[in-house]
Structure 1
Amino acid sequence: MKSYKDKKVISIGVVSELTGLSERQIRYYEQRQLISPERSKGGTRKYSFMDVERLVEIANKMEDGMQTFEIRKEEKQRANREQVRKKMLRGQLNTAFPNQRK
């Protein structure tokens, strides 16, 4: 079950108000593949609370002088580390409980 923070239900206008970013900046971050809103049937962007937090983080990094490609690279590295960590944890659990598979 998805956490309420992961549900994409917030419009770009509300995200703009929450983050202090312009709608244009938010669209730019989407264009640079730093954020991925869902689209409604009518094409309206919908964001989650996690997206809002991510946008604030992106804005802070940009303010500190990072470029969008650096932020994207950093995010890919973090995701890769997380994936490796999960695999290692699964391996440890499989070793500790070899007959307990779902």
Structure 2
Amino acid sequence: MSYKDRKVINIGTVSEMTGLSVRQIRYYEERQLIFPERTKGGTRKFSFSDIEKLMDIANHIEDGLQTVEIKRMESQRKHRQLRNQMIRGQINAAFGMRK
């Protein structure tokens, strides 16, 4: 696992780093745009990748997009990535190539 994906940053620090309020960050979690981990005590933990994603979300919101549109864009992006991985796998299988 990359250091960027390790969930070790608390919500207060994320708020300071992004300029977003704690309330905004929680709202984006409620809208299922970000997925922090929870400690046994319920504390949210974020990664640097989550922070980058929050900044992207904030930029989209500034550009006038709604959270439902952002979620749809993310779903389409993930679908394209999966499709591309499948195509690469089929090409590798057909031509005996390895990563």
With the length of structure 1 as denominator, give the TM-score of the two structures.
Answer: 0.93
In structure 2, how many angstroms separate the alpha carbons of the residues matched to 1:59 and 1:51? 12
User: Offset of 1:36 from its aligned partner?
Assistant: 0.5
Report what 1:76 is aligned to. 75
In structure 1, how many angstroms separate the alpha carbons of the residues matched to 2:94 and 2:2? 30
Please give the root-mean-square deviation of Cα atoms over the aligned residues, in Å: 1.1
Gaps of 5+ in 1: none
- 1:46 is paired with a residue whose SS is strand
Report what 1:49 is aligned to. 48
State the identity as a percent: 56
Measured against aligned partners, the alpha-carbon deviations of 1:44-81 in whole angstroms (never above 9, x if no partner) come to 00000000000000000001100000000000000000
In structure 1, how many angstroms separate the alpha carbons of the residues matched to 2:90 and 2:3? 30
With the length of structure 2 as denominator, give the TM-score of the two structures.
Answer: 0.96
Gaps of 5+ in 2: none
Following TM superposition, the consecutive aligned residue runs of length 4 or more in structure 1 with deviations greater than 6 angstroms are none
* Residues matched between the structures, number: 98
